[in-house]
Amino acid sequence: MSDTAELLFDVYTRSDNPMLRATLAPVVADPDGFARRFYERLFERAPALRRLFPTDMTQQRMKLVQTLGVVAAGLDEPEHLVGTLQELGARHRGYGVKFAHYVEVGEAMLGALADVNGPTFTPDARAAWQRLFAWVAEQMRRG
Ligand code: HEM
């Protein structure tokens, strides 16, 4: 495929779901461990974002994992997630979140997924998550 064709067609589709589900297994096995890893990576790469979050991150870690669960459960009918994600995106504007911050969050999430999956997190798996994350962020941006 040429670069242009890839640019046009490299979007999340349901065919990514088996790969996404497989790489969620270690997250399901230790949700809080995953969440800790994720926020560690996020605040390491983007320390300025720390002040947007509460001092005590316990609740925040739970919310992160719950949301991942909601998205994972909705993968067979992603169109049903659109409304929820748009409302979530609108609330994020209120938290002071800018669209550029989604890049930081996306990279931290890919990094944390790579940490917990080890070699199972192949380049194909990473690409599937990138496509899903871009789709989620786009729905949130529209909200
Ligand atoms: C895939 C994208 C994201 C998802 C699924 C997500 C999910 C959530 C959820 C479920 C909450 C709980 C509150 C609520 O439901 O409104 C929340 C809060 C929050 N999120 Fe996100 N988020 C995402 C991206 C971001 C980004 C890019 C930032 C930028 C730093 C961010 C910063 C925050 C902050 C600051 C809060 C509120 C903390 C508080 O004061 O309680 N989120 N997020």
pLDDT at 139: 93
**Would you identify the CATH topology of the domain 15-142?**
Globin-like (1.10.490)
Q: Dump pLDDT digits (tens) for 30-77.
A: 999 999 999 999 999 999 999 999 999 999 999 998 998 898 899 999
92 closest CA partner among 129, 57, 135, 136 = 136
Task: Find out whether 135 and 111 touch, Cβ atoms under 8 Å.
Answer: no
Task: Report whether residue 102 contacts ligand 1, using a CB cutoff of 6 Å.
Answer: yes
Q: To test the ligand 1 pocket, which listed residue (68, 87, 88) has its Cβ within 8 A of the most ligand atoms?
A: 88
pLDDT at 7: 52
pLDDT at 130: 95
pLDDT at 11: 87
Instruction: Place 136 in a pLDDT band, splitting at 50, 70 and 90.
Output: very high
Handedness of CA 95, 23, 34, 113 (dihedral sign): negative
- Pick the residue whose CA is nearest to atom 8 on ligand 1: 64
Instruction: Place 2 in a pLDDT band, splitting at 50, 70 and 90.
Output: very low
- Please indicate, yes or no, whether the overall pTM of this predicted structure exceeds 0.75: yes
Q: Domain extents for the chain? A: 15-142
Alpha carbon of 1 to ligand 1 centroid (Å)? 36
Task: Report whether residue 67 contacts ligand 1, using a CB cutoff of 6 Å.
Answer: yes
Instruction: Place 1 in a pLDDT band, splitting at 50, 70 and 90.
Output: very low
Q: How far apart are CA 26 and CA 116, in angstroms?
A: 6
Alpha carbon of 14 to ligand 1 centroid (Å)? 24
**Residues whose CB falls within 8 Å of the CB of residue 143, separated by 6 or more in sequence, listed in order:** 85, 86, 87, 88, 89, 90, 92, 93
- Is residue 107 predicted with pLDDT exceeding 50? yes
Task: Report whether residue 131 contacts ligand 1, using a CB cutoff of 6 Å.
Answer: no
Q: Dump pLDDT digits (tens) for 5-36.
A: 445 556 899 999 999 999 999 999 999 999 99
Backbone angles phi, psi at 46, to 5 degrees: -140, 70
